[in-house]
Amino acid sequence: MDYYVAISIRDLNNDKFNDLVETVHKFSGHIEQTEKDLILSHTDELNMLSCLFQMRENYPEAHYGFSQYLGIAKGLAKIAKATEILISEEIEKKVIENFEIMSLGMLSIEGMSSQILVYRIDIPTKKLQFPKPKPQVLSIPRRNEIVSLQNLLRVSKVVLITKPLGSGTTTFLDQVVEQWQDREIYRTTCTSYGMGLTLKPINQIVAQILGIANLRSIEERQKTIERRLKELDIADIGTSYLALLDFLDLGEEESILEKLELTMRVEVITSTIADIIKRISWIKPVVIIIEDVENMDASSVNFIQHLKDQLIEEDICFILSSTLPQINISGIKEFELRDIEKAQLISMIQEVTGEEMALPPTTPFHVAQYLCLYREEMMSYLYRQYCGQTTIADYGLSFYDIKTIIKRRLELLDEEKEFIFKLAVAGAELDPDELPIDEKEHYLFNYFVKQNYLKHYFNHYIFVNPLLQQEIYNLVPDKEKQHQRLADYYSRIAGFEEQAAYHYREARNYKKAIEFMIKSGDSAIKRGGYEAGIHYYHQTLELCQRQKESVNLELLITLNEALADIYRALGDEQNALKYYKVVLDSYKEILKE
């Protein structure tokens, strides 16, 4: 049965209007149209009346009309007093057992040539029954591929999902995880940041395993780690505890990892974490999911290789995803995520817009962004009508290319646009406590989650797709200035050398970039990430060759000596001698002078 709800309310600002409309949508309503100070919606749920009772608390100035007929609902809302819910005769017969109802007699309403019998709902006589909330996120189920992946995991404990960018891998993995309520799931994403932050994905997985991902204070984290190790009956709790504190940078004394040889550092921490995961798997099967591993730093890749080799006999699965068909991890089985059929994407659009349209070759991400823009444009259109502004006769939106869609979405923002520009420059993964953002603006993180720009991920936020972050970044008008601001901020904080190096480089402040790239290499090696450290030093050398005016001989000696020391520590005498020779030749040049 079809019903119509009319809400007469004046002077709503844009945010209040959006909240009211979203409340109606959430509980099975669909906005049919708006007029000056009037919102009209359609529903197939008689229990929408219960929602109106609750809406009166948030909108005490609103007047409500409810009928099987659009014109009558509109007329009832216009003659109702504030907070009153007026209904027509056919509705009264259906709800008389659930509410106290007062007859107001025969009344004239706008648009009707004769008077009609009008009733007012006063209070419920039974417990209010609400419509089931409609899910706001649309996705296409991939049941067959879920089954195929599960079958593959029976053959191989390590699977690499390959896919084109924007093909919906995250949504697919969300659907996979929903099937595994009986497993321990640990999950992270390797966001592209220009430079992969050393061991960050491993840190995030370990924090989830230990139950400290959402904890802030060091003392609380330390106590939780100690308790977790005791619960799992770890044999050498003392060594394991200290190694984890070192690895997670939670220790307050001299690091025990720094006292070990480079290769031993990785071995100690890998063995410690492997033991913890193994013991968890004895209680529940474990699944470790790492998305976008093509962005993973070299030390994290090596870490995952060692970890999976130690856990190969346990009830533990590794699911990795990448846009590249091959990664530097051996012993994996490839699973290709197929494209969603165009007919399903067309159906998805039709469900939201009510229109069937011909689509060019496209991706689920592109379609999702189009639907976001459609809703935002529709809300803007409805609000203009509500304000009494002249609008076109009807609303429709063509399927634009992805750049145009994202640009238009940004144009619909007001002062929030500057905030999302700041976030796009800061990176694809965002921790409010690590950004130079005023606390008064922190509410905007959740605003952009609601607008489907970001998603909340433990104690931080990430863009819903790297493509979205990149397209927004391309539209930022003062990138270099913002990068410089972030670089100066991070350069003053211990432990953020990698962020400072990246932003200085993007700000074209090459002298500072080189300084902090060297510091990033030093920091990576202290944490056992010698592969990442070597990578930083090599990147620094390349930058020095391109920006010779930003370097001096002393810096080059320091850099080559650092590389020589690492290779010697790793037992690579050939490379060690190569870089020691460069250092020696440099000193000879100095002596000549």
Question: Looking at residue 215, what is its pLDDT?
Answer: 86
Question: Looking at residue 250, what is its pLDDT?
Answer: 84
Written as six digits, the tokens of 310 are 């130690």
Written as six digits, the tokens of 169 are 């891998």
Question: Looking at residue 589, what is its pLDDT?
Answer: 64
Q: Taking the mean position of all CA atoms in its chain, how far away is CA 137?
A: 14
- 71 three-state secondary structure: helix
Other C-beta atoms lying within 10 Å of the C-beta of residue 292: 22
Written as six digits, the tokens of 561 are 């000596």
**Alpha-carbon span 413 to 437, nearest angstrom:** 19
> Domain extents for the chain?
3-124, 143-336
**Residues facing 288 on adjacent strands:** 186, 318
Question: Looking at residue 24, what is its pLDDT?
Answer: 87
Q: Per residue in 332-355, pLDDT tens?
A: 999 998 888 889 999 888 888 878
Buried/exposed 225-247: b ≥16 CB within 10 Å, e otherwise: bbebbeebebeeeeebbbbbbbb
**Alpha-carbon span 419 to 428, nearest angstrom:** 14
Confidence of residue 256 (pLDDT cuts 50, 70, 90): low
User: pTM of the entire structure?
Assistant: 0.86
Q: Per residue in 305-323, pLDDT tens?
A: 999 999 988 999 999 999 8
Question: Looking at residue 553, what is its pLDDT?
Answer: 83
Looking at the predicted structure, is the pLDDT value of residue 248 above 90? no
| φ and ψ of 142, to 5 deg | -120, 65
> Tell me: domain 3-124, CATH 3.30.930.10, correct?
no
Confidence of residue 176 (pLDDT cuts 50, 70, 90): very high
Confidence of residue 327 (pLDDT cuts 50, 70, 90): confident
Q: Per residue in 494-548, pLDDT tens?
A: 889 999 999 999 999 999 999 999 999 998 888 788 899 999 999 999 999 888 8
For the purposes of burial, counting CB atoms within 10 Å of the CB of 126, is it exposed (0-12), middle (13-18) or buried (19 or more)? exposed
Percent of the chain with pLDDT over 90: 51
* Identity of the amino acid at 342: K
Question: Looking at residue 394, what is its pLDDT?
Answer: 61
**Residues facing 334 on adjacent strands:** 160
Q: Per residue in 361-383, pLDDT tens?
A: 889 999 999 999 999 998 888 99
Placement of tokens 């027509």 in the chain: 88
- Over residues 547-564, the mean pLDDT reads 87
Written as six digits, the tokens of 192 are 């592209």
**Alpha-carbon span 522 to 536, nearest angstrom:** 9
CATH hierarchy code of domain 143-336: 3.40.50
Placement of tokens 């939201």 in the chain: 352
Decide the pairing of beta strands 333-336 and 316-322: unpaired
Written as one string, the DSSP assignment of 378-443 is HHHHHHHHHTT----SS-------HHHHHHHHHHT-STHHHHHHHHHHH-SEE-GGGS---GGGTH
**Alpha-carbon span 392 to 301, nearest angstrom:** 55
Question: Looking at residue 590, what is its pLDDT?
Answer: 65
Contacts of 326 (CB under 8 A, 6+ apart): none
Decide the pairing of beta strands 3-8 and 38-43: antiparallel
